[in-house]
Homo-oligomer: A and B are copies of this chain.
Amino acid sequence: MNMFFNPSSVAVIGASNSPFNLGATICRSLHEFSPFGGAVYAVNRKGEDVHGCPGYSSVTDIPGHIDLGIIIAPALVVPGFVKQCGEKGIKHIIIESSGFSEGGEQGKALQREIDKIRNAYGMRIMGPNCLGVLNTENKFCCFYGIQKDDFETFAQKNGNISYIIQSGGIVVIVLESFKNDVVKAAKIISIGNKSDIDEADMIEYLSTDEKTKVIGMYLENIKDGRKFLKAAKKVKKPILVFKVGRTTEGVRAAQSHTAGMANNDLIFESACAQAGIIRVNSISELHSLPRIFTQMPPLKGKKIAVFTNSGAFGGSTADLRVQAGLEMAKLSPETQERLSRTGQIFNVTNPIDLGPALSMQTFLEIFDILLSSDEIDGLLPVPSLWHPMVIEAIMELVKKCHGYGKPAAIYTPNAVDKTIAYRNNYQVPLFESPEEAVRALAVSHRQYCYHAMKDELQLRAYYELSISQNNISYNDYADGA
């Protein structure tokens, strides 16, 4: 699989100098934008060079070995190109073109032809109907249509979350979101129709990828339930999945898009419980929740303390915490006494109301009191950013969280655009809403519990608990999907 992410020679098949040619935009990224050092060739009818990449009229004419073939040509001519790749000895192919199993009977026939050729030559194929991969480490990116500014932004954002995404449209939102976040990408993989390589293959690859600490997935269907479950169970890294098709209508809509069966959702839900997969509720959670894993230690217990300058958030976050299965930490008279001694705190019971104005020193004292107390497992800070000092205090809090091994899911009550600007400018892990912050704590704790329970018996108990209402047996998913 590594050749898909770290090739040293690439052929972009279907890249030409015609107006609006999508292959040309890939040549441009690979040759002009990127410090990616490998050789890049273009294949087109005229054999013309494209954006400085030497051109050939056939794959077999290219001199030397080719690690990766990227095909972006009309569906009808794709099987011929796949065959040329086979003859050339190319073992890894990304087909970005659409018009295959999602495109009616003719498309399905073309897909079968490609499958045959692939089997004959022993190749691995990603796609069709996909964007391929972005690897921020070596700056290899074969997404078509990417602009120079965007490319440079992502190239600088070398981080540790990787995404496996079935739809190209979602890739674009994920890419955009990285521009203003403290979370940064390792690899983004757009798998499209999954004629060969599927989500399970990519989970397996990312499980051993050193750069990847968290895996996010957008799926419209599962290709092979048993394989997916097996791959996911082996991974120690958090896996977050957004899957379309909770309702019959959603299933029907998804089928017309990337040509898969969206499967029985109840079974998928139970599979997630078995494998410790975190099922997220929206595409935006795929982007927001990883922050709690990449920037904070895990939440080892359920007892949460809130501190805020605005009493309004004491009440609303208390509701949310309870609904998320967490608990309001009960502060002992000793802890309350210690908090009182720091100065002007309005309310020293949990939720702690800091009142309008605190000094930096008081903030730091409060952080130490709360994080050092075994009455508290994690924090939900909702500080008002009325002064630049507060953001400095938040930066110190992030450090202290790592010191004490307890997380804080921080929400600053501002309009969302301002929150995003603070997050980006100061590189602190702010959440965009109180709901997101609470949800982040909940998934952090769930992930911790799952991996803390090494014993199979306990794992089963956890699983039974998660799906007790559904009455599904342990192996239903693998058998039924």
- Chain A positions near chain B (C-beta within 8 angstroms): 166-170, 172-173, 176-177, 179-180, 218, 220, 242, 244-254, 256-258, 262, 282-284, 306, 308-319, 321-323, 328, 347, 349, 351, 353, 384, 413-418, 420-421, 432-435
Q: Which of A169, A247, A316, A434 counts the most B-chain CB atoms under 10 A from its CB?
A: A316
16 chain-A/chain-B pairs, Cβ below 8 angstroms: A167-B312, A173-B413, A218-B312, A244-B316, A246-B319, A246-B323, A247-B319, A249-B328, A250-B319, A253-B318, A254-B311, A254-B315, A257-B314, A283-B316, A283-B433, A416-B432
Instruction: Kindly list chain B residues whose C-beta atoms are within 8 Å of the C-beta of A249.
Output: 318-319, 321-322, 328
Question: Are A416 and B284 closer than 8 Å at their CB atoms?
Answer: yes
Chain B nearest CB from A30 CB (Å) reads: 22
Question: Are A313 and B413 closer than 8 Å at their CB atoms?
Answer: no
Chain B nearest CB from A145 CB (Å) reads: 9
CB nearest to A249 among chain B residues: B318
CA distance A418 to B418 in the complex (A): 13
CB contact between A247 and one of B166, B169, B172, B322 (< 8 Å): that residue: B322
CB nearest to A357 among chain B residues: B20
CB nearest to A288 among chain B residues: B416
Chain B nearest CB from A377 CB (Å) reads: 16
Query: If the complex has contacts A434-B282, A434-B283, are A253 and B415 also in contact, measured as CB distance less than 8 A?
Result: no
CB contact between A244 and one of B246, B312, B384, B420 (< 8 Å): that residue: B312
CA distance A257 to B316 in the complex (A): 11
CA distance A347 to B347 in the complex (A): 59
CB contact between A312 and one of B170, B321, B353, B421 (< 8 Å): that residue: B170
Chain B nearest CB from A339 CB (Å) reads: 14
Instruction: Kindly list chain B residues whose C-beta atoms are within 8 Å of the C-beta of A248.
Output: 322
Question: Are B315 and A262 closer than 8 Å at their CB atoms?
Answer: yes
Chain B nearest CB from A20 CB (Å) reads: 9
Question: Are A315 and B415 closer than 8 Å at their CB atoms?
Answer: no
Chain B nearest CB from A434 CB (Å) reads: 7
CB nearest to A316 among chain B residues: B244
CA distance A258 to B250 in the complex (A): 44
Question: Are B256 and A318 closer than 8 Å at their CB atoms?
Answer: no
CB nearest to A312 among chain B residues: B167
CB nearest to A308 among chain B residues: B169
Instruction: Kindly list chain B residues whose C-beta atoms are within 8 Å of the C-beta of A284.
Output: 416, 433
CA distance A220 to B309 in the complex (A): 16
Question: Are B170 and A244 closer than 8 Å at their CB atoms?
Answer: no
Question: Are A323 and B176 closer than 8 Å at their CB atoms?
Answer: no
Instruction: Kindly list chain B residues whose C-beta atoms are within 8 Å of the C-beta of A323.
Output: 246-247
Query: If the complex has contacts A282-B435, A322-B250, are A314 and B176 also in contact, measured as CB distance less than 8 A?
Result: no
Instruction: Kindly list chain B residues whose C-beta atoms are within 8 Å of the C-beta of A433.
Output: 282-284
Instruction: Kindly list chain B residues whose C-beta atoms are within 8 Å of the C-beta of A180.
Output: 415, 417
CB nearest to A424 among chain B residues: B417
CA distance A323 to B248 in the complex (A): 11
Instruction: Kindly list chain B residues whose C-beta atoms are within 8 Å of the C-beta of A314.
Output: 253-254, 256-257
CA distance A248 to B315 in the complex (A): 10
CB contact between A173 and one of B168, B317, B414 (< 8 Å): that residue: B414
CA distance A283 to B319 in the complex (A): 13
CB contact between A169 and one of B309, B317, B417 (< 8 Å): that residue: B309
Instruction: Kindly list chain B residues whose C-beta atoms are within 8 Å of the C-beta of A172.
Output: 384, 413
Instruction: Kindly list chain B residues whose C-beta atoms are within 8 Å of the C-beta of A315.
Output: 220, 244-245, 250-251, 253-254, 257, 262
Q: Give the 7 A-B CB pairs with smallest separation, nearest first.
A: A169-B310, A257-B311, A254-B315, A250-B319, A244-B315, A167-B312, A176-B415
Chain B nearest CB from A146 CB (Å) reads: 12
CA distance A245 to B312 in the complex (A): 11
Identify 7 new A-B residue pairs, CB closer than 8 A, beyond the known A169-B312, A220-B312, A250-B318. A169-B310, A220-B315, A250-B316, A250-B322, A256-B349, A257-B315, A282-B435
